[in-house]
Amino acid sequence: MIPVQGYQGQKVAVLGLGRSGLATARALKAGGAEPLLWDDSPEARAKAEAEGFACTDLMRHGAFDGVACLVTSPGIPHLYPAPNKVIARALELGVPVDNDIGLFFRSFATKDWDGFDAMPKVVCITGSNGKSTTTALIHHILKVAGRPTQMAGNIGRGVLDIDPASDGEVVVLELSSYQTDLARALTPDVAVFTNLSPDHLDRHNGMGGYFAAKRRLFAEGGPDRCIVGVDELEGRFMAGQLAQGPQDDRVIRISSGSKLEGFGWSVFARKGFLAEWRKGKQVASIDLREVTGLPGAHNHQNACAAYAATRALGIAPKLIEGAFHSFAGLPHRSQLVGERNGVRFVNDSKATNVDAAAKALQAFPKIRWIAGGMGKDGGIAALEPHLGSVVKAYLIGFSARDFALQIGETPHEICETMERAVARAAAEAQPGEVVLLAPAAASFDQYPNFEKRGEDFTARVKAEIG
């Protein structure tokens, strides 16, 4: 646990008692603060009270009297489409609003660091797609290199739930736009921006607000090194703002598909090969084609991001290459879950938006595509240029019929359920084809989250292939 600093003897309100909320309450208490907790769920309040915490309705008169700060969970809106009523009340009263990420950055460094030989570092990863894979890959490389490391944030443990830093340790944090948008302190040593595509637009009032939330990690955090994906205009804009010029190697530009040879430091992948360039010269190269845990161009971008981050931390290219080959990948992200008679079954349930689905569809030559769920604004018409590899689509969930109208001449079947989609795709698939779950939609019509959807796909596959 990271005891929260700066609130000793003060009241701090905590709104939302999920994983991060309870971890925040414990860390505040450990740092000498008096946490006042609230959640609309009676079950969540009962769980907190069972740990000895006081629950206080933060909307009652005088609830914020003497409160130094309100800490809110990331899933609770604080601005758009409308602020939660408790947060709105805090803002009216001038009570600072923060989240666990802000508390982490103000509390991570301690006096114990004075005795360390090497200062601990924090690497933060944000972006629309690939954050989790990039975060896990950086963590894996560091472990292979023998560096002490912990992984937390939007993946794994809550940030305040990790152990205090050890000598030379590297903490790797995946941060969503919800987390970067509100944190009052953001001071990573290395910050990574993977890419940007439309997502969570209601929460950020459009693409501009969404990009601004991501950009805070760099503009306000002042990292020593910035790794920036430049395959979209927003990334190129941000890299240009952060760098003093093209030769400024504090900014490492990364790309999947474009040569980046004219910069002080760049890492890019083309035709399955990763290349590192510094000051106009190639200094390293890795063949990614046989790295089974990182299939497709989108994963090659993740590899570039992780490579750049770990090179910025002083890890040697050959060691990184070896770590790539021992990386098993993450569940629900281009995850191979079975194979029968030359047909592979791949779970990419995390492909909840059009951009992620497009990248999955480009990763394999012949695809039996399972898609659908709770469709997002704009539908999937933008996927039409990427459907050339789709032999047939098997559409499920609430948006199945809407999706059928948006995929042109692509052969398709309305299956409604995962069970039927897997059974039909498995029965029709030929050797050399891939049965791919890449929904291009949220899961909430049939599943509580994308993980449960992916687990159902995996279970159905195993039942089919034995």
List the alpha helices (DSSP H) in 283-372.
Answer: 296-312, 317-325, 354-361
Q: Is 132 annotated as a binding residue?
A: yes
338 labeled binding residue: no
Distance CA 106, CA 372 (A): 42
Phi-psi bin for 83: left (phi > 0), alpha (psi -120 to 50), beta?
beta
Nearest one of 352, 372, 77 to 202, comparing CA atoms: 77
Contact in structure between 341 and 432 (CB atoms under 8 Å): no
Answer whether the bond into residue 431 is a cis peptide, omega within 30°: no
User: How much is the CA Rg of the chain, to the nearest whole Å?
Assistant: 23
CB 410 within 8 A of CB 387: yes
The residue written with tokens 């969540």 in the block is: 44
- Strand pairing category for 34-38 and 54-55: parallel
Decide: 324 and 145 in contact? Cβ < 8 Å.
no
Contact 264, 247 (CB under 8 A): yes
Nearest to 73 by CA among 61, 60, 63, 86: 86
**Angle at CA of residue 376, ends 294 and 364, nearest 5°:** 25
The token duo for 310 is: 């770990």
Kindly tell me the burial class for residue 287, based on how many C-beta atoms sit within 10 Å of its own C-beta (0-12, 13-18, 19 or more). exposed
133 marked among binding-site residues:
yes
| CA neighbor of 249 nearest in space, from 212, 275, 222, 277 | 277
130 in a labelled binding site: yes
CA nearest neighbour of 261 among 241, 240, 282: 282
The Cβ-side half-sphere exposure at 132, using a 13 Å CA radius, reads 14
Secondary structure of residue 330 in the 3-state scheme: coil
Annotated binding site for ATP: 127-133
Which residues does the annotation place in the binding site?
Answer: 127-133
